[in-house]
Amino acid sequence: MLKATTSAILRAERCYVSSSKVVLTQCKRTLTTEVPSRASRPTALETPSQQIRGFEREQASKILHGRAVLPPVFHPQTNGVPVALLQLRSYHPELLGLFSHFATHAAAALALPVSRPAPLPTKRSLWTVPKGPFVHKKSQENFERKVYGRVIKAWDGDESVVQRWINYLGMYPCPGVGMRFVRWVRAPVGVGRAVSEEMLVGSGKDGISKTDRAQMEDVARRIIKEEMEAAGLKSKKEIRQ
């Protein structure tokens, strides 16, 4: 009786595994071998960016069961300008693989060109702690901690798109995984002149900033002039004229 039940359980598990494999292969076939429609086929007049947008719309409109299990679409770079750097740290490499897969899928949905997750050097820390005082002081115990890391680099993305990617990953974080973002923001042409004009506010006519003594003298002259006008007196220049 026990042998019959165990054999039935094993047959059920094999059927379940085989059915899941069939579903996964069907998803892969629909993603790779399906012919695009005439409206989404690239023409000679379309640019590469327009072709990519048509492919994104076509894939986003489909219902692909198990899409999250499949590898993400890595969009090609257009200009090769880096815009962001995502660093992931965790004590468990399995969680790093899961969240890096999620982050690349989110970037693919936003049409943000990103690199594949690359491993960072593992940080290793060691501690030696005595087990107890007095008699047990000589017996010590060693503790080890390893911090694993992954890095994902993004290119050619608008500032609003990168900010939306960062906000989305912050809304749905993975417990046990730390995130660190490094962003590069390009300033428009002429930003140096605008900054210099802001710094020269309150400066003299020749562009040299005034000292504290010169500013105090200006304030004193203005106060004296206001007091004399209130008292009805005239300044020396007005008397000479």
Task: Walk me through the domains of the chain, giving residue ranges and CATH numbers.
Answer: 1-70 (no CATH), 72-186 (3.30.70.600), 194-240 (no CATH)
CA dihedral 73, 76, 81, 83 (to 10 degrees): -10
Angstrom distances, CA of residue 2 to CA of 12, 19, 53? 15, 26, 58
Please report the pLDDT score of residue 193 as a whole number.
83
Please report the pLDDT score of residue 52 as a whole number.
58
Please report the pLDDT score of residue 31 as a whole number.
42
Residue 129 backbone dihedrals phi, psi, to 5 degrees: -125, 135
Comparing CA positions, the residue from 82, 62, 78 lying closest to residue 70 is 62
Residue 180 near residue 87 (C-beta atoms within 8 A): yes
Distance CA(114)–CA(76), nearest Å, equals 8
Distance CA(161)–CA(84), nearest Å, equals 11
pTM, two decimals, is: 0.56
For helices 93-109 and 159-171, the axis angle rounded to 10 degrees is 140
Distance CA(37)–CA(90), nearest Å, equals 44
Q: Encode the chain (241 residues) as per-residue pLDDT tens digits.
A: 444 444 544 454 454 444 444 434 444 444 444 434 444 444 545 565 566 566 666 766 676 777 778 888 888 888 889 999 999 999 999 999 999 999 999 998 888 999 999 999 999 999 988 877 777 777 888 899 999 999 999 999 889 999 999 999 999 999 999 999 999 988 888 888 887 777 776 555 555 556 677 778 888 888 988 888 888 765 555 555 5
Strand-by-strand arrangement of the 82-90 sheet? 118-130, 140-155, 82-90, 177-183
Please report the pLDDT score of residue 54 as a whole number.
64
Please report the pLDDT score of residue 180 as a whole number.
94
Q: Residue 123: enclosing H or E segment and its boundaries? A: strand 118-130
Please report the pLDDT score of residue 228 as a whole number.
86
Please report the pLDDT score of residue 59 as a whole number.
66
